[in-house]
Every structure is written in structure tokens, then in C-alpha cells.
Chain A
Amino acid sequence: MTATTRPTPPRRRLKPLLAGLALGLLASTASNAAMLDVEKDELKFGFIKLTDMAPLAIAYELGYFEDEGLYVTLEPQANWKVLLDGVITGTLDGAHMLAGQPLAATIGYGTKAHIVTPFSMDLNGNGITVSNAVWELMKPHLEMDAEGKPVHPISAAALKPVIDEFDAEGRPFNLGMVFPVSTHNYELRYWLAAGGVNPGYYSPEDVSGQIAADAYLSVTPPPQMPATLEAGTIDGYAVGEPWNQAAVFKKIGVPVITDYDIWKNNPEKVFGMTAEFTEANPNTTLAITKALIRAAKWLDENDNANRQEAVEILSRSEYVGADAEVIAASMTGTFEFEAGDVRDVPDFNVFYRYFATYPYYSDAVWYLTQMRRWGQIAEDQPDSWYDEVAKSVYKPEIYLEAARLLVEEGLVDEADFPWDSAGYREPTAEFIDGVTYDGTKPNAYIDSLEIGLKTGDSVVGAEVVAAN
């Protein structure tokens, strides 16, 4: 009958955990996180100025990193390439990354480095915006409701006549996305293809991604999207927040669809580190994951009750820096399409609900299927290959270990985590085109998509060549 007055956690990592816990209790600070015996405690993380970097800012500002004994410096990066190079060369210990980045780096597309992720940062959060001129051209092709507002979701089929018109005038239709392996590239391509527009293919010789394209996609860093659209270099773009809402506020463009409408609760960013780093610093990796899980929980807690505070933090110049009202537009559960057309999108940014932070293999596989679909993966691969790559990059085991520690410390609920998951989500058809995605059968999925490379196809020169 000892110590019945306070709940004793199951004794897993005995020494450091108990010592840390005792310390936490002695300190009687607001939190009672236990400190792991971290190998490296001074860390530098990179991020891009986007609202979905929120878990990092929150973990820093609310002291979750410090609770774990981590002294973190957050540094905004100029673009996704600089950020990825920073992680690979070790000038950054980790970073807010596009889900496609660790996968592409690991399979050697663009750059070669083994990057892993134990933490998925959020779901959704992107949108596709077109310039005011394009919007006016699209309008006649839209279905309107009783109030005269367009019926959402808007299909790219309404954009097709506009692109044809551009084509007839001999003008290219240019769209911006943030990086060749970005979620935005795949979402924009998915949306265009679902509406019958071919966004073009990649080949080993031609990495522009514009082979046989109806619309020409090219890379623009996120914060420069509005300026590039305004300058007329691009006619539309796919980007994360706040840069779609910024277009509305600046009256230079109209968001036509959110990625939530392209694929409900699609995985978006991940927290990436090199495999080397996580192997050399296992406790640090756990501690980082713990702090980030707590931050994600705080962001979604009590029906997004903390979001306004999060908006205030993100609007500081060292983080996203945009005006608070612009950031709040999407962070607080609404999204403004055409000026004045504000609609509820309660799940526009999901940081914790629906097991958002769990790194599902099926999420990784989806990105790989899109890389194959558009020719970034030039050759057919067996289903087992997709599974292997996903497992070498996504690390749910680290995630669950961190979650277990947090449950033991009483900081999160047991029910918040899919303990028994095999890492694959249930097959889902919640896409704009209604095609079912089953992560365990990637090749069948690739073949079921209308536009895109299929089993046996390859891109030779400027043409798609089928097998035989």
C-alpha cells in the first residue's frame, strides 16, 4: 500500500522517466511532462511561412519543447529546396516538410537522402486559387444555386473551356505549385485530371512535368504566389494557407476549391528528420514527437477553442507574419471563396482529430502512387515496393512510443491514438471523382485513374508509350 495518493505510471523506461517525473512534480509547474534523457538538446528546425507550421510554433511558445528538455530554434526558410537541403546537410535537425519530400528523397527523386518521419503535422489546409480574369471566364460554366452563388465543389471541368480558349489564342495556361513533389502539385493535378484536364507528365529526361500538358504547372515558393499571380506570370495556383485567403483580401484572385473537397482529410505536411539523426538520437526524436503531439492536441482541443490564440501567435513576424485576420480566415473553420462568399469548412485545418498526427503508411503510398501516375517514378513497381518504401520513411512505432509516454504522464487520452492500426487506413472513396483508394493495392489504384500513366506505361520523349 505505498503511494496510493498519486497514480503511478507503469514502469517502462524506468530511470530517466521516474527521475524526470519526480523532477516535474517537485517543480510544480503547469505541466508535468517527464524529461527523457535526450542525446541532443539544442536543435534547429526549419519551416516555411504557412499556417500548418503551427505545431512547431505552439510547441515552442507554450514551452512543450522545453518541458521535454529541448532547446529549439525555429528558422523560416526561403523555399522547400533550401529547407530540404538544410535537413540533409545537417544545418537543420528537422523541418516542417511536404509529405512528398521525405518519400522522394528516400527513393532518390530530385535528391537522395534517407529522410524519415514519426509525425504527420496536419490534414487538409490547401486551396486552389485562380486569377480574377480566369474566374470571370469560368463563371458561365458554373452551376449556380438559388442564391446565385456557385455550387461547391467546383470541378476542373469548368476550367476546361477556359484552357481551351487560351489554347485557341495560342496562350499557355500557367499554374503555380510550390514544389515538384509537393502535396499541392498532386492535389492540383488530381483536381485537373478529375475534370478532364491533363496536367502533363514527368520523364527522367524532362523534369519540367509539362510533357503533353493542357495546363502548365511550374514551381513558385508559397509566399510569392500572390505576387506572381498579380504579375500575371501564372493564372492560378495551389498553395497552403494563408496564401489563398491573401488573394481574396488583396482582391487579386478567387479560391475555387479547397483540398478538403478534392480528398476529405488528406494528409498534408510531415515533420522530417534524417534517418541518421533519429538513429543517433532516439530519445531526442521521441521527445520532439511528444512535444509536437501535445501541440497538435492543443490546437484542436475543445472544438478548436485555442485557435484564436494560435492565430495571434502565427501572425507574429517570426512565424507566418501575415495579418491575423487573413490567417484567422482559414484557421477558425471558415473559408472565403469569392469576396463575401464565406463558407464553413470546420475541418479546413485538422491538427489532431481523426488521428491526424499518426504517420499512416497508406498516406505515404498515396503520394507514391501519384509520383508513378505522373511519371516521377519512371518504371512500374510491385505493390510490395510501395509498402517497403512507406515503411522505411514513415515511423508509426516511434510515434506510438511517444504517445504511450504522454498517456502515462496523463497529458493525452488513450483514445486519441490508433494503437492497433496496421498503418493502413480503411479504403476510402472520399475523393472529388469518387474513385476508391486502397493503400494496400497501389497498382490497381493507379490503373483505376482516368488520366495518368498506368501499369506498363512509360514516357519516352514527348509521348506516353504503353507496354507492348
Chain B
Amino acid sequence: MTLASEAPAPATERRQKLFTAINRSAAWLSALGFGWLVPLLRIAAGDDPREQMGELRDSLLFPLMGIAAFLLAWAIFAPQVQTSLGAIPGPAQVWEQAGSLWQDHVAERQKEADFYVRQDERNAELIADDRADDVKWRAYTGKPTYLDQIVTSLKTVGLGFLIATIIAVPLGIASGLSRPFNGALNPLVQLFKPVSPLAWLPIVTMVVSALYVDASDAFPKALVISAVTVTLCSLWPTLINTALGVASIDKDLVNVGKVLQLSTPTTITKLVLPSALPLIFTGLRLSLGVGWMVLIAAEMLAQNPGLGKFVWDEFQNGSSTSLARIIVAVLTIGIIGFLLDRVMFTLQTAFTFSGKR
């Protein structure tokens, strides 16, 4: 009897532990956009499926239905619009072009490998010929593939976002702490916040070309121009939210700081930053979204490498596959924008937790 009654206890305990683990990870999973995994995991862990169905329906079934309805509408209506390049491609053709872009990428990598083989042979001959001094290693000269363009765009938006953060956070803290500073900065923020990237671009191009003369290989001029344009358009949400976050710190905390006679750096690092962090992250998240949106426009206009240039090149190609390829790019831009937002949201969640501790 005793044995029998003791036997289920560890199992229940294990189950209990499992559920605690699932519940703890639920917040993280939903932050990452995998919220629909939670009910599935619970079912797998032995929970009553019927209880979880409701949640599963909300988090998985409805979104899937939305996507399916969209695909269906797209497939039905797109072919009915005739453009000069033929009908607007449906999901199937777009999927096909996504495959062909991947094939392009594979083929280009093969060409690249061949290029290096030829170069190795040439260099080997030079060495055999006692001309080792003439041996040189050159980078591949072929075109960037679609995947390369994505990487370039991500690099550019990353750089622009980084510069924006470095500028906006200190400015935001300063204007949150000091009313006179805030008063002085506010008109400028209001004036420059609504300016379009396309208007910034010519100025940025001129200024960067004038100042950034010795371009390094890691940061070519085109990349810096796009990145600075992104910076100018995306720093405002961070700036405004940081200022707001800093200004709305609990007055008691500030007074305690005054009583303890904390130095300004300590006040900022120990008091201001921790309590303003959630809002700063909200600002950063908005900034990154704006930056990603702005980047494509800047790349298109300036013909700087990246997804924007890909779209423009395809538009100029005007071949029967161009439209489908542009739609592939549009979907890619959307998906990457979504993922970037998710990453920021996850970071925000992480830091908000630590802020509460």
C-alpha cells in the first residue's frame, strides 16, 4: 500500500516541474512569436487537450486561416490584373521565383569557387615561374546574389540603428533630466522628425562624400550613406521615448538620490537608466521599424547595394519574371522587418524583467 501510494508522487512531481517549466518559458515563446507552441507543449506534457484547444485555436488556427485566406485571394485576383509585363504573378509563380533566386545564389557561389580555382592556378604558375612577388589574392568580382543583398541591407540598417541609438539615448536622457535642454531640443525634434528619407538622401550623399574620403572596404561609402540616412529618420522615436521615460521617473527615487548626494553619472546609471529602460526599449523598437522601412527607400533612390537596389534593378529589367521577383523581395522585407521587431521585443521583455528585480 505504502509503495503504491508513493509511486505516483514522483511522476506528479515531474509533471508539475514540467508544467512550471512550460509556464515559465511561455512568456519567452510568445515574445519570440512562438506562443502557439505553448498549448502544444502542454498537450504533449499530458494536459487535457480539450482545455488547450481554445488557446491553440486563438494562437495558431486563426492566424493560419488569415494567411490561407490572403493566399487564396491573391491567387484568385492577381492574375486578373494585366500589366505591361503580363499578369500580376500569383503565389505559385512567386514561390517559383524564390526558388530561382536560390538557384542563382547556388550558381553564383559555384562561379565564385571556379574563380578562386583559376586564381589559385594562376598564382601557382607565377610561383613556378619564379615570380612569387606577383602573386595576388583578389576578391571575387561577380554580382551579389539575392542573399548577399539581404545581408548588405541588414548590415546597413544595423549600422544606422547603432548610430541612431548612440545619438538618441544620451540626448534623450539629457532632455529628460533638464527642462531647459528639453525646451531647446524640442523645436528641432518637431521640425526634423517628419522629414522623408528621400529628402535627406541628397544632403547626406554630399556631406558623406565630402567628409568620408578614405572609404574602408568594410564600410564602403554607399553603405555609410544609406546608414546615415537611416539614422536621421530613425533616431526620433528613441529620443522622444527616452526623454519621456527619464522625465517620468518616480520623484521619490530622485529625492532619495539627492539626499544621498549621488554624482550625476551614478544617478544616471543607478537610478535613471534602470527605471527608464522599458520606455527606451519601446523607442528603440519603433526606431528599428522605421529604420528598416526607410532603408529600402534610400537604397532604391541612391542605387546603394541592398534589397532596395534589387527591387529597382528588377523594375528596370522589365522581364516577365521581374514582378514575381519584386514580390519575393516585398515578402522578404516584410518577414525580416517582423523578425527584427521580434528580436527587439524579446530584448525589451528581457530587460523589463531585470528592471523589476
| A contact residues vs B (CB 8 Å cutoff) | 19, 22-23, 26-27, 41-42, 49, 60, 63, 66, 71-74, 76-78, 82, 89, 91, 223-224, 226-227, 230, 246, 250-252, 315, 317-318, 320-323, 326
Assess whether B316 is in contact with A66, with CB atoms less than 8 Å apart: no
Contacts A49-B317, A77-B303 hold; do A318 and B129 have CB atoms under 8 A apart? Answer: no
Query: Do B129 and A317 touch (CB < 8 A)?
Result: no
B136 and A76 contacting across the interface, CB-CB below 8 Å: no
- Contacting pair A317 B313 (CB below 8 A): yes
Contact B314 A317 (CB under 8 A): yes
Pair A42/B138 contact, Cβ less than 8 Å: yes
Inter-chain contact A320/B129, CB cutoff 8 Å:
no
Q: Name the prevailing secondary structure of the B interface residues.
A: helix
Of all A-B residue pairs in the complex, the 3 with the closest CB atoms, nearest first, are: A321-B317, A223-B316, A318-B143
Distance A178 CA – B237 CA, assembled complex (angstroms): 42
Pick 25 A–B contacts, CB within 8 A, sort by A.
A19-B131, A23-B129, A26-B129, A27-B121, A27-B122, A42-B138, A42-B139, A60-B141, A66-B118, A71-B138, A73-B142, A76-B316, A89-B209, A91-B221, A223-B316, A223-B317, A223-B318, A226-B84, A226-B318, A246-B318, A315-B319, A317-B313, A317-B317, A320-B317, A321-B322
Least CB distance from B115 to A in Å reads 8
B183-224 with Cβ < 8 A to chain A = 209, 221
- CB–CB B314/A41 < 8 A: no
Name the interface size band of chain B. 20 to 34
Q: Which residues does chain B contribute within 8 Å of A19, judged by CB atoms?
A: 129, 131
Min CB distance B200 to A, Å, is 18
**B58 located at the interface, meaning its Cβ lies under 8 Å from any Cβ of chain A in the complex:** no
Task: State the CA gap A320–B320 with chains docked (Å).
Answer: 13
Q: Do B303 and A72 touch across chains, with their CB atoms under 8 A apart?
A: no
A78-B303, A223-B317, A251-B84 given; name 5 further pairs at CB < 8 Å. A49-B317, A66-B118, A76-B316, A321-B313, A326-B319
Question: Which residues of B lie under 8 Å from residue A322 when comparing CB positions?
Answer: 317-319
Is B85 an interface residue, CB under 8 A from the partner? yes
A residues in contact with B313, CB < 8 Å: 76, 317, 321
Closest Cβ–Cβ distance, residue A87 to chain B (whole Å)? 15
B125 on interface, CB distance cutoff 8 Å: yes
What's the minimum C-beta distance from B213 to chain A, rounded to whole angstroms?
A: 11
- CB–CB B317/A41 < 8 A: no
A226 → B minimal CB distance (Å): 7
Q: Could you list which residues of chain B lie within 8 angstroms of chain A, going by C-beta atoms?
A: 84-85, 104, 118, 121-122, 125-126, 128-129, 131, 136, 138-139, 141-143, 209, 221, 303, 312-320, 322, 325
Complex Cα gap A76–B314 (Å): 12
Given A76-B313, A82-B303, also A27-B318 (CB < 8 A): no
Residue among B131, B136, B142, B312 making CB contact with A41, cutoff 8 Å:
B136
Query: Which chain A residues lie closer than 8 Å to B315 at the CB level?
Result: 223
Residues of A contacting B138 with CB < 8 Å? 41-42, 71
Task: Across the interface, name the chain A residue whose C-beta is closest to B221.
Answer: A91
Q: Is the CB of A72 within 8 A of B317?
A: no
A221: nearest chain-B partner, CB-CB: B316
**Chain B min CB distance to A275 (Å):** 22
Residue of chain A at shortest CB distance from B85: A250
Contacts of A250 in B (CB 8 A): 84-85
Query: What is the CB-to-nearest-CB distance from A351 to chain B, in angstroms, rounded to a whole number?
Result: 22
Inter-chain contact A323/B125, CB cutoff 8 Å: no
Are A26 and B303 CB-contacts (below 8 A) given A41-B136, A76-B313, A315-B319?
no
What separation, in Å, do the CA atoms of A230 and B82 have in the docked complex? 13
Q: Is the CB of B319 within 8 A of A321?
A: yes
A89 partner residues in chain B, CB cutoff 8 A: 209
Contact of A26 among B118, B125, B136, B141 (CB under 8 A): B125
In angstroms, Cα B118 to Cα A224, docked, is 38
The smallest beta-carbon distance between A56 and chain B, in angstroms, is 12
- Is there an interface contact between B316 and A321, defined as CB atoms closer than 8 Å? yes
Q: Are B320 and A323 in contact (CB under 8 A)?
A: yes
Quick check: B125 and A27 within 8 Å, CB to CB?
Answer: yes
- In the assembled complex, which residues on chain A have CB atoms less than 8 Å from the CB atom of B317? 49, 223, 317, 320-322
Q: Within the complex, which residue of A73, A252, A320 is in contact with B141, where a contact is CB–CB below 8 Å?
A: A73
